[in-house]
Structure 1
């Protein structure tokens, strides 16, 4: 009973601290590229005037862990005790945690945690849910992707670290402070007229157009750098006017590939750029208080073309597809239906962590899972080849927390069209 009251009081204090802080930006259920422990999820991130507050949930397994059993007839030597089993049945949050951004060039220190201990580990019963929060130094404005490094395997040998890679958060740059203009001297009053001024008709009311920001750019062929006639679908996903409604769209201007969208300041838009004969591109774009320029290079659909399927997600060390991957794969299905002679090769890649052979097998299983999804959507299996390279073909040095997730990718190569 005392323990329950303690955690209830902790949760109340957590709410009090958050309410008193000035919240600048909120990201609910942020997109996470990879996580070390699937039992831990990030529910919400608040950027206040002082802190980066990350609200997390730990969900314990419903079945209790089995205790170590000795073989029949085996007796322990005098004075020897079995080690206490640690793992999913105890939790804590390491005080040496950090947030990293820009490939580890910038880091932000851990400040405190609420509703979870930072020194000794606390017991968690089977099926228990623990909601807690971790406070870090405030992210610099403009950092929209970071890694949460809670501990290393050396720090915690018998349980899993709460590490997250590629956490996406709303955190636009602050607009530059404009200097006040010097005051204009007041002109001297004209002399009083001795004759009455002629009567002029009252001006007709005019409507002054409210200025709007522009989200604009140019769509080009990645190979030839020539303009492309494309359709840009856009949807406001975060901002004062965000309603979660359907997407709208505009087309590029004939001849120059340029487009422009009326945008809301301090908002985030989801953009999808499509064009006949090209692979589409999807991205999120943040608009601040100034005009935003977003140029797009589309890859033509031709033999030898190679693209990275950016929005393909798997659970850590597993090959089952997450539902967030389906929109990207559905777009690929549409392209292959529109090009019935098109054949592709899916190439799987991992980072360097773990056993080499296991990583090769994991990459092979992941691309086979992508193939299975495409086949379920009606694409014949003979149009899709698969190969797993594991960690053998990295695109960077693999040294930092930022670089390693970039190597965990699925690439597609067009064999023929």
Structure 2
């Protein structure tokens, strides 16, 4: 009986360890690319020990999806037999999480509600919710890739590229109240008893006071440097550079913005960095579209040049900070600052009319991608109209995958083709 109680206690302690207190939760994280459209990530939880990924698999109603074999099998009589299309899902224990282009990797620990390897058959239309546990991603990495395996032999892997999560750096401040430093008492001469009447023995030699420690040298100065110029003529110009610390060990992302001016004749600017972390930087000048970037400062100075596009008929701008969920057209909140800057430009140029052009990568059905690109630019237009811009000043067109800007062969190139561009029709 005692052995059973001990075993039950061990199991309860193990279960409580796996379900430790969650530090950060990301619901429906933004994902740059997915290998299998039938699986999705519902939530990512970070505990002190694990990265926990909650996923959902919905078998395609048409019966051909992940682990399926809808092809003819040669028979001994020379005839082919069509094998029934089924799905057999599992999760590979060799899967890994990767951050920063493979700089670090994190091992798979365990899975719930899905077998390892390939053993569970799923019927068309059936839904399977499962959980995968990995080693804890180090604080500060806010994007990771989940690489389960390589496709092959009719097996489509659960691979996700560019999963964006909440995972700030840990603060290094100590929570304990430092103890007051007590000055050591000067050592008194050791008493030596008299050996002769009326004669005092000599006192022992007092200790030598150690030299004071030299103060540590101040850390090297860090700055963001660069130039601002006209993107069309490459002429140097003066601009306002606005910057704000959005994350770091000494910030929670709610600090005030500050700004500097670039030199009108040389275009040079310098942003002094007193708190190291990630900064949002925007360059703007009258008669030009503003340009933004996110820059991480560490121990060396950064160089970032800004080429500003003039506001004139025929100019084309790629709205780089516009985000949608995979295969959907709902605008993500991260898109609002970029669109708000466009609203400001259109208010300042009250006669300007534009055309929004939507583009996708070449993966998937052509007609479906054209419709998706059209819906996305219409969603952008609805946002601009909701901010007071006349709908008659905005045209929209969806080109789908017909105008890629690269070969679209690698997973790194595909996000570049999924874009929204703005063309100025009239100023």
TM-score range, shorter chain: 0.5 to 0.7
In structure 2, C-alpha distance between the alignment counterparts of 1:279 and 1:309, rounded to whole Å: 11
In structure 2, C-alpha distance between the alignment counterparts of 1:7 and 1:397, rounded to whole Å: 54
- The answer for the alignment partner of 2:42 in structure 1 is 40
- The answer for the alignment partner of 1:22 in structure 2 is none
Check 1:55–1:150 CA distance in 2 against 1; reply closer, same or farther (3 A cut): same
Q: What SS does the corresponding residue of 1:237 show, helix, strand or coil?
A: strand
State the number of aligned residues: 341
**Is 1:12 the counterpart of 2:17 in the alignment?**
yes
Give per-residue Cα distances to partners, 1:148-196, cap 9 Å, x unaligned: 3446787898x99352336589999xxxxxxxxxxxxxxxxxxxxxxxx
- The answer for the alignment partner of 1:94 in structure 2 is 92
In structure 2, C-alpha distance between the alignment counterparts of 1:149 and 1:118, rounded to whole Å: 17
In structure 2, C-alpha distance between the alignment counterparts of 1:154 and 1:374, rounded to whole Å: 45
In structure 2, C-alpha distance between the alignment counterparts of 1:7 and 1:222, rounded to whole Å: 64
In structure 1, C-alpha distance between the alignment counterparts of 2:409 and 2:220, rounded to whole Å: 46
Check 1:100–1:13 CA distance in 2 against 1; reply closer, same or farther (3 A cut): closer
Contact 1:269 1:286 in 2 (8 A): yes
**Is 1:112 the counterpart of 2:114 in the alignment?**
no
The equivalent position to 1:278 in structure 2, one of 270, 281, 288, is 288
- Spell out the pairing of 1:154-233 with structure 2 (5 A cutoff): 161=158, 163-165=160-162, 167=164, 212-233=221-242
Contact 2:356 2:420 in 1 (8 A): yes
In structure 1, C-alpha distance between the alignment counterparts of 2:392 and 2:157, rounded to whole Å: 41
In structure 2, C-alpha distance between the alignment counterparts of 1:156 and 1:375, rounded to whole Å: 47
Q: What SS does the corresponding residue of 1:370 show, helix, strand or coil?
A: helix
The structure, 1 or 2, with the larger RCO (C-alpha pairs under 8 Å, 6+ apart) is 1
Contact 1:146 1:165 in 2 (8 A): yes
Give the CA deviation at 1:238. 2.2
The equivalent position to 1:313 in structure 2, one of 323, 332, 337, is 323
The equivalent position to 1:350 in structure 2, one of 347, 360, 363, is 360
TM-score of the pair, normalised by structure 2: 0.64
Contact 1:213 1:265 in 2 (8 A): no
Considering only CA atoms, is the larger Rg found in Structure 1 or Structure 2? Answer: 2
Give structure 2 stretches of 5+ with no counterpart.
1-6, 64-83, 170-216
Contact 2:40 2:57 in 1 (8 A): no
Check 1:38–1:320 CA distance in 2 against 1; reply closer, same or farther (3 A cut): farther
- Spell out the pairing of 1:243-258 with structure 2 (5 A cutoff): 243=252, 244-258=254-268
- Spell out the pairing of 1:378-397 with structure 2 (5 A cutoff): 378-397=388-407
Give the CA deviation at 1:212. 2.8
**Is 1:239 the counterpart of 2:248 in the alignment?**
yes
Q: What SS does the corresponding residue of 2:363 show, helix, strand or coil?
A: coil
**Is 1:133 the counterpart of 2:133 in the alignment?**
yes
Check 1:154–1:369 CA distance in 2 against 1; reply closer, same or farther (3 A cut): farther
Give the CA deviation at 1:390. 0.8
Contact 1:147 1:166 in 2 (8 A): yes
Give structure 1 stretches of 5+ with no counterpart.
20-25, 69-82, 173-207
Q: What SS does the corresponding residue of 1:387 show, helix, strand or coil?
A: strand
Give the CA deviation at 1:382. 1.8
Contact 1:108 1:137 in 2 (8 A): no
Check 1:296–1:326 CA distance in 2 against 1; reply closer, same or farther (3 A cut): same
Q: What SS does the corresponding residue of 1:393 show, helix, strand or coil?
A: coil
In structure 1, C-alpha distance between the alignment counterparts of 2:299 and 2:365, rounded to whole Å: 48
